[in-house]
Amino acid sequence: MQLEVADALLEAANLLLVGMVVVFLFLTMLIGAINLIAWLNKIIPDPSLTTSLQEFKTKTPITPDQDGVSPKVVAAISAALQLHRR
């Protein structure tokens, strides 16, 4: 009876070890693939993304006067944030 339990525990430990190694290898390959894709995108950028980025940079930034928020509201929010951070 004890020999069967020992064999079962040994097989369970073996299965646990193999499973953990497989998961570790898969996650390592996944992170490597993501880093490789990011590196390739830095080297060979997509032309459609660079044109939209240039268009975004040329637009004028939104100021409080343009979007309708009064300076008093901005001052009140800033004061509340400063109080909250203290």
Tell me: the pLDDT tens digits for 38-70? 999 999 887 776 666 666 666 655 555 556 778
Structure confidence at residue 27 (pLDDT): 98
Structure confidence at residue 53 (pLDDT): 60
pTM passes above 0.75: no
Match 């909250």 to its residue by tokens: 84
Match 């040329």 to its residue by tokens: 58
Where exactly are the structural domains of the chain? 2-44
